[in-house]
A and B are shown apart, each in its own frame.
Chain A
Amino acid sequence: ETGVTQSPTHLIKTRGQQVTLRCSSQSGHNTVSWYQQALGQGPQFIFQYYREEENGRGNFPPRFSGLQFPNYSSELNVNALELDDSALYLCASSMGGSYGYTFGSGTRLTVV
């Protein structure tokens, strides 16, 4: 197992810009979820992909979008960045069903 790897680890963007965050899941994990964690808060669910199709979405606007690729990698795209988008973005993967989720170390995004 290689774990879940996220890149970059830190990122600073200007309000209005666009950003792409990347995640490499564990081999065989066909489900990937993305979470936003503001300082002092628990992770908030953004969306989930199962076998390259979105199968769940939290209360986030359409400017948050994503993709999952056949090689177990995925990405989160955020358009028109706002100051409130500053947070730790977490990727988590699972074999699905009732298996637990393995989290990456996250990408710290700062919007100025």
Chain B
Amino acid sequence: EDQVTQSPEALRLQEGESSSLNCSYTVSGLRGLFWYRQDPGKGPEFLFTLYSAGEEKEKERLKATLTKKESFLHITAPKPEDSATYLCAVQARAGTALIFGKGTTLSVSS
């Protein structure tokens, strides 16, 4: 069964304190791994898509990496506005639906 597990469930950081979020997955033939950001009461906002092991993508203070079993979302020098829930999802085959993890809720305090 295709499955996505995210850890930790919650993470509290001080402003400027870098850290990483983990997404481990088991899927029969990964087509793509997606990272989304979700603010309370809102829909997920697309961040990155990773397609193959070794791939890395960056956007401002965020960097996503992918191995054959997991993905990391590295947050460098976070700011309070980075506080949100970060969702990881996998797509097993092209055109199929996304399978999501439960998310990591990040709180950054100044």
Contacts and interface: CB of A to CB of B under 8 A. Distances in A.
A69 B42 CA distance: 25
A102 B46 contact: yes
A42 B9 CA distance: 11
A105 B43 contact: yes
Nearest to A9: B41
Contacts of B32: 98, 100
A76 B28 CA distance: 29
Contacts of A41: 102-103
Interface stretch (A11-19, A43-51, A78-86): A43-51
A48 B103 contact: no
A90 interface: yes
Interface stretch (B11-19, B65-73, B75-83, B90-98): B90-98
B98 A33 contact: yes
Contact of A98 (B36, B94, B99): B94
Interface of B: 4, 6, 31-32, 34, 36, 41-46, 49, 51, 87, 89, 91, 94-103
Interface of A: 4, 6, 31, 33, 35, 40-45, 48, 50, 55-56, 58, 88, 90, 92, 96-98, 100-106, 108
Given A55-B95, A98-B91, A106-B42, 15 more contacts: A4-B43, A43-B44, A43-B89, A44-B100, A56-B97, A88-B41, A92-B98, A96-B95, A97-B94, A97-B95, A98-B51, A100-B34, A100-B49, A105-B42, A106-B43
